[in-house]
Amino acid sequence: MSRFENPPLDEIRALLKRVHTIAVVGLSPMRNRPSHLVAESLQCFGYRIIPVRPAVESVLGEKAYPELRALPEKPDLVDVFRAPEHVGPLVDECIDLGIKAIWLQDGVINEEAALKAQQAGITVIMDRCIYRDYMRLMPE
């Protein structure tokens, strides 16, 4: 079985440049949570954020949705702030919906699901922080 590897940094940079809409799965309404801080920063960088979190009406001024299937449009990227055991079903949803990129934040490691997504043609970044990579890779 092959081993998962993140794309090279130039491909991650290219992804960050072409993405406009990011569905943030597990986006917390609590301002002190990493998901909230990262999503708020992404908004400041010019990305449109779509919160995906059940039982929440809105986060960061955007209407929240209970699951990816409920989104009114297909996001360019799905950014995941969920425990690794939840990644498999999220990958299945991304495959079914034709989503082209998924980002698994720091500590969100599910190699089996990441490989499945890659085999389905999805760009996968795993165990990396999108905020840190943006700050490092994107020109001012």
- Please report the pLDDT score of residue 1 as a whole number: 56
Rounded CA separation 41/63 (Å) = 17
Rounded CA separation 53/11 (Å) = 29
Residue at 2 is within a domain:
no
Domain with residue 95: its CATH number is 3.40.50.720
Q: Which domain holds residue 78?
A: 9-137
Rounded CA separation 137/91 (Å) = 26
Q: Region 105-119: what's the mean pLDDT? A: 96
Residue at 56 is within a domain:
yes
> Tens digit of pLDDT for each residue in 40-56?
999 999 999 999 999 99
Q: Judging by beta carbons within 10 Å of its beta carbon (0-12, 13-18, 19+), is residue 26 exposed, middle or buried? A: buried
Residue at 48 is within a domain:
yes
pTM for the model: 0.95
Residue 103 near residue 114 (C-beta atoms within 8 A): no
Q: Region 11-19: what's the mean pLDDT? A: 97
Matching residue, tokens 């999220």: 90
Residue 47 near residue 79 (C-beta atoms within 8 A): no
